[in-house]
Amino acid sequence: MRTIVSADIGGTHARFALAEIDGGRVVRLDDPIKLQTSEHGSFQLAWEEFGRRKGIDLPPELAIAFAGPVGGEVLKLTNNPWVIRPSLMKERLGVDRFTIVNDFGAVAYAVATLPDAEFRHICGPDRPLPKTGVLSIVGPGTGLGVAALLRKPDHYEVIETEGGHVDFAPLDKLEDRILTELRRSFRRVSIERIASGRGLWNLYEALGAIEGQPLAFHDEKELWAAAIAGTDSLANAALDRLCLTLGSVAGDMALAQGSYGVVIAGGVGLRLADHLTTSGFRDRFIAKGRFERRMDDMPVKLITYAEPGLFGAAAAFAREHS
């Protein structure tokens, strides 16, 4: 049994927790400490703040879930100005051994190792996720994460991707108009511009322009609260469109990756837990022409474990350094 630090670094928050690993698996994850990335100038400063809050000398082993491409001498976050230089881990953090995985690669490690009880049914057949074959993991948060998990009888492989940055494809006349509006702000409109936390705001602004309505909200938190509560018609419409797009995207990723099941993750995914089952998510997920029957026979789950990024990063470390 040994203790490591697990970190989940995203566009908005940096989460840290101590994890206990044994025999190549995670046996315990402490309650996390969540820091605002905007309040700390670097990963090193956030690491030091975590150590101060825990009041201990941090162990020299570290697992990181990183919201950006992994590889090379300098790692740059997609929605955060921090950079991480793996070659300086020992010098700056006192870390002897580390593992760095893409943030949704970490979620895929969590999907691979968490029990069935940590998943909530969304649509498709109400059965557990298959134990062999490909699973697609799609997660709206600050951005949109995408990964794949290949399960085989005796092992599994995680495939990290940047699938959240593929082009948005409108599927009806209203989405044609939404795309036109978004192009006023973005040279290229990716699916992350819509199926994400910030995507609700982008949709709200676009629909306001299309409908000729003034915007009642100027704060994203207030907008999300109104959309989830159903107290504002324009916010409601934006949330419905977000769920439609998420359904389309999740189905597209499942087809592209040859999947037999899909897992929705991310902070926005949890926020949508009660809304997805009553929205148009399922209709868009299965609307794949000649493959509609296959899509309708695919279980779609929502991961409910509170910190899958932290758990998955620790699981990746445990597997690599067992």
The verdict on 193 and 310 lying in the same domain is no
Q: Are residues 240 and 109 in the same domain?
A: no
| Pick from 26, 259, 255: nearest CA to 149 | 259
Residues 106 and 20 in one domain: yes
Tell whether 76 and 186 lie within a shared domain. no
Based on the fold, state whether residues 285 and 315 are members of the same structural domain.
no
The Cα angle at residue 152 between residues 315 and 117, in degrees rounded to 5? 55
Is the same domain home to 313 and 258?
Answer: no
Return d(Cα 197, Cα 195) in angstroms, integer.
7
DSSP conformation letters of 109-124: HHHHHS-GGGEEEEES
The answer to whether residues 222 and 106 belong to one domain is: no
Residue 190 and residue 106 in one domain = no
Q: Is residue 93 part of a domain?
A: yes
Does 135 map to a domain?
no
Q: Provide the 3-class DSSP secondary structure of residue 265.
A: coil
Residue 153 lies in a domain: no
Domain that holds residue 56: 2-114+306-320
Give the pLDDT confidence score for residue 11 in this predicted structure: 78
Q: What is the largest distance, in Å, between two alpha-carbon atoms of the chain?
A: 61
CATH number of the domain to which 36 belongs: 3.30.420.40
97 found inside a domain: yes
> What local confidence, expressed as pLDDT, does residue 75 receive?
86
DSSP-derived secondary structure for 65-134 = EESS---SSSEE-SSSS-EE-GGGHHHHH--SEEEEEEHHHHHHHHHHHS-GGGEEEEES-SSPPPSSEE
Claim to verify: residue 313 and residue 299 sit in the same structural domain: no
Per-residue confidence (pLDDT) for residue 193, from 0 to 100: 97
Whether residues 294 and 199 fall in one domain = yes
| 314 and 268 both lie in a single domain | no
Q: What is the pLDDT of residue 240?
A: 97
- Name residues whose C-beta falls within 8 Å of residue 229's C-beta, 6 or more positions apart in sequence: none
According to the annotation, is 12 in a ligand binding site? yes
- For residue 200, tell me if it sits in a domain: yes
pLDDT, position 144: 92
- Determine whether the annotation assigns residue 126 to a binding site: no
Alpha carbon of 176 to those of 65, 70, 171, 183, 269: distances in Å? 35, 34, 7, 11, 25
For residue 174, is it within any domain? yes
**Residue 303, annotated as binding a ligand:** no
Specify whether 181 is located in the same domain as 78.
no
CATH number at residue 274: 3.40.367.20
Under DSSP, is residue 212 helix (H, G, I), strand (E, B) or coil? Answer: coil
* CB atoms near residue 271 (< 10 Å): 17
Count of domains in the chain? Answer: 2
Ligand-binding site membership of 31 (annotated): no
- Taking the chain (322 residues) in runs of 10, the rounded mean pLDDT of each run is 94 93 94 94 95 95 89 81 90 94 92 96 97 96 91 93 94 98 96 96 98 94 96 97 98 98 94 93 97 97 95 96 86
Is 11 part of any known ligand binding site?
yes
What CA–CA distance (Å, rounded) separates 319 from 284?
36
Q: Is 8 annotated as a binding residue?
A: yes
Q: Within a domain: residue 53?
A: yes
